[in-house]
Amino acid sequence: MQSPHHPQVSRRNDGRWVLNCPECQLDSCNRAVPIGIGLPVESEYIALRLQENHVGPTRRQRSVQAALRPGS
């Protein structure tokens, strides 16, 4: 099995959204960060789609719930 990734969607100060993945970004010394990771996008919808694509369908529900977790 692949090691799990836990990308998180967050909102930037400029109002755009960005998907960060600690598992990928810890590895950034080899420039292997996938497209979309750490890249600001115009909408939360796009960021969530990138997140889905990154974690794959089997983890989608859990990840979306994490992204929508109240209290932010």
- For Zn ion, which is the closer residue by CB, 8 or 40? 8
Closest CA to 27 of 40, 41, 37, 12: 37
Query: Segment 9-48, which members bind Zn ion (CB under 5 A)?
Result: 21, 23-24
Q: Residue 5 interacts with Zn ion (CB under 5 A)?
A: yes
Q: For residues 13 and 58, which CB has a smaller minimum distance to Zn ion in the complex?
A: 58
Identity of the amino acid at 50: L
The token pair that represents 49 in the structure block: 């789609």
- Residue 35 one-letter amino acid: I
Binding stretches for Zn ion (CB under 5 A): 5, 21, 23-24
